[in-house]
Amino acid sequence: MKDELFKSLIEVIATLRGENGCPWDREQTHTSLKSTLIEETYETVEAIDSAQPDKLKEELGDLLLNIMLQAQIAAENRDFDIYDVIDTLTEKLIRRHPHVFGDVNVENSDDVVKNWEAIKKEEAGNEDRESILDGIPIALPALLRGQKIQKRAARVGFDWDDIQDVISKVDEELAEVKESLKKNKQAEIEMEIGDLLFAIVNLCRFVELQAEETLRKSNRKFIQRFKRMEKILEKQGKDISEQSLTTLDAIWEEVKKDES
């Protein structure tokens, strides 16, 4: 029954792309679907954060739709189809998990990652990777990419030994930002703030936090607090744009106090 569901989905996608199908679906290409793929991925992440299974189920479906469309376009170009995608993935999972499907022994997840990277390096398409930092996608969000860069460097021992060293680096970079602001040179300010952000990402990594996720949570918290502040002023019959910073700060602190 479940096999039939998958076959039915393949047929629906093919119909949508067919001669009498949907004009929008027929116009799509690998390139045009890139933005949708990114959007659906973030919406899936948001659904995970919501802890609502039905919402997650729907968003995973939307994400799967993009994958199915990509595979259908490739099939029409006679490059590959969705079954080739599944076959390639299955083979890769078995190959990269010799500790599960073979006779390799591992002690912990760190050993798994080391084996994974060693196996990847030997695979077709990865032979030209000369640096341990090669292969980190450029299109990743900057915080996520920064953390991956730092994690790769740490694998070969290029890392701080103690968290106090990391905090000292953050303080050092903040001091350099302050100095650059005094000089009022935009290019230098940009560089120093970038270094500060990179140091903070490193601090997140050191305490086993995901910098991207940490900032997303702070973004969400700010939005929630700001909306509560807007509602308080609305109940008072006041326009938020007409209030002084002192007034807004006082309400902000009130909102924060209510949370604790």
**What is the longest distance spanned by two Cα atoms in the chain?**
71
Q: What is the pLDDT of residue 183?
A: 95
CA dihedral 237, 243, 245, 247 (to 10 degrees): -40
| Burial (0-12, 13-18, 19+ Cβ within 10 Å), 143 | buried
In degrees and rounded to multiples of 5, residue 137 shows phi and psi of -55, 130
Choose one of 71, 95, 119: the last residue of a domain.
95
Note whether 73 and 21 are same-domain residues: yes
CATH number assigned to the domain comprising residue 202: 1.10.287.1080
Indicate whether 201 belongs to any domain: yes
Q: Note every long-range contact of 46-50, with CB atoms under 8 Å and residues 24 or more positions apart, other chains counting.
A: 49/216, 49/220
What does pTM read for this prediction? 0.72
Scored b (16 or more CB within 10 A) or e, 187-216 reads eebeebbebbbbbbbbbbbbeeeebbebbb
| Burial (0-12, 13-18, 19+ Cβ within 10 Å), 53 | exposed
Q: What is the pLDDT of residue 193?
A: 98
Note whether 21 and 71 are same-domain residues: yes
Separate counts of helices (H) and strands (E) for the chain? 12, 0
Q: Give just the sign of the alpha carbon dihedral 118, 119, 124, 126.
A: negative
Q: Inform me whether the pLDDT recorded for 123 exceeds 80.
A: no
Q: What is the pLDDT of residue 228?
A: 96
Indicate whether 21 belongs to any domain: yes
Note whether 33 and 61 are same-domain residues: yes
The answer to whether the CB of 205 falls within 8 A of the CB of 155 is no
Note whether 195 and 243 are same-domain residues: no
Tell me which DSSP letter residue 126 carries: -
Choose one of 95, 113, 140: the last residue of a domain.
95
Q: What is the pLDDT of residue 116?
A: 79
Q: What is the pLDDT of residues 1-24, one digit of tens each?
A: 778 999 999 999 999 999 999 999
Indicate whether 37 belongs to any domain: yes
Q: Which domain holds residue 204?
A: 130-209
Query: Can you tell me the mean pLDDT for 118-129?
Result: 75
Indicate whether 119 belongs to any domain: no
Note whether 15 and 58 are same-domain residues: yes
Distance CA 140, CA 101 (A): 31
Q: What is the pLDDT of residues 143-199, one digit of tens each?
A: 999 999 999 999 889 999 999 999 999 999 999 999 999 999 999 999 999 999 999
Q: What is the pLDDT of residue 132?
A: 85
Indicate whether 100 belongs to any domain: no
Give me the percent of the chain exceeding a pLDDT of 70. 99
| Burial (0-12, 13-18, 19+ Cβ within 10 Å), 119 | middle
Question: Quick one: tokens of 114?
Answer: 């080391």
The answer to whether the CB of 201 falls within 8 A of the CB of 207 is no
Indicate whether 236 belongs to any domain: yes
Domain count along the chain? 3
Which position has the higher pLDDT, 30 or 3?
30
DSSP H helical ranges for 123-210? 142-155, 163-183, 186-206
Note whether 177 and 200 are same-domain residues: yes
Q: Inform me whether the pLDDT recorded for 260 exceeds 80.
A: no
Note whether 148 and 135 are same-domain residues: yes
Indicate whether 107 belongs to any domain: no
The answer to whether the CB of 121 falls within 8 A of the CB of 130 is no
Note whether 72 and 7 are same-domain residues: yes
Place of tokens 């924060």: 256
Choose one of 95, 118, 150: the last residue of a domain.
95
The answer to whether the CB of 82 falls within 8 A of the CB of 71 is yes
Q: What is the pLDDT of residues 77-118, one digit of tens each?
A: 999 999 999 999 999 999 999 999 998 888 888 888 888 778
Q: What is the pLDDT of residue 148?
A: 95
Distance CA 24, CA 16 (A): 9
